[in-house]
Amino acid sequence: MSGMAAISDNEPQLVREAAAGDTTAFDALVLRHAKPVYRLALRMLGSREDAEDVQQETFFCAYRGLRRFRGDASFGTWVYSIAARLCVTKLRRAARRPEETHAELELASASPDGDPEERLLAVELAGRVQKALAQLSPNDRLLIVLKHVEQLSHGEIAAILDCSVESSRSRLARATRLFREAYERM
């Protein structure tokens, strides 16, 4: 990140520079949003390989579409929307559920420090949550991940889903109910 010192923190400026062909600016944007995009893909797809594919495809699409980016929403929201669309498409095509073990593996490797007993409980809990997520449709899963994992606001979710805030709220309420039911069935 030392090379990023001269890079502006102003995201719209970075986007303009990246659109003009400045790869350093694009690097900064990627570094800034790589983790949320990967996390969204991982929680949606349940597979590291698929999540990496979606992450790369997202930034590939973003780079190619930078000149069309109007800046109505933030770059982060735009990139999220690309990733979300790719995840939903991938899930629909594959018509599969996330693999159950990946949440635990990912969690275990993410922070190996701490009390082993607490880690075990957390891993078990994460596995159960991921299983409940797997019971949902791609769209419902996306809403739950955006709200409760990514902890985005209703406004941001509405921007990503390209719908009104009211619609986002009602869809999230339904998805939450379905998730709660799925979780309680576990």
**Closer Cβ to other proteins, 91 or 145, answer by number:** 145
Q: Which of residues 53-92 bind other proteins (CB under 8 A)?
A: 55-56, 59-60, 63-64
Which range, of 14-22, 75-83, 90-98, 145-153, touches other proteins by CB under 8 A?
145-153
- The number of beta carbons lying within 10 Å of the beta carbon of residue 174 is 13
Stretch that binds other proteins, among 4-12, 13-21, 81-89, 125-133 (CB under 8 A): 125-133
Distance CA 10, CA 25 (A): 10
Residue 155 interacts with other proteins (CB under 8 A): yes or no: no
CA distance 8 to 90: 34
Contact 66, 12 (CB under 8 A): no
Residue 100's H or E segment, with its range, is none
Q: How far apart are CA 75 and CA 73, in angstroms?
A: 7
Among 15, 17, 18, 43, binds other proteins (CB under 8 A): 43
User: Are 88 and 139 within 8 A, CB to CB?
Assistant: yes
Q: How far is the CB of 109 from other proteins (least distance, A)?
A: 6
d(CA 121, CA 127): 10
Q: Which residue from 84, 181, 92 is spatially nearest to 137, judged by alpha carbons? A: 92
Pick the stretch among 70-78, 92-100, 135-143, 144-152 that binds other proteins (CB under 8 A): 144-152
Binding-site member from 52, 85, 99, 134 for other proteins (CB under 8 A): 52
CA distance 73 to 33: 15
Residue 134 interacts with other proteins (CB under 8 A): yes or no: no
Answer yes or no whether residue 185 interacts with other proteins by CB under 8 A: yes
Residue ranges that bind other proteins, judged by CB under 8 A: 23, 27, 30-31, 34-35, 38-39, 42-43, 52, 55-56, 59-60, 63-64, 103, 106-107, 109-111, 122, 125-126, 128-130, 132, 144-145, 148-151, 173, 176-177, 179-180, 183-186
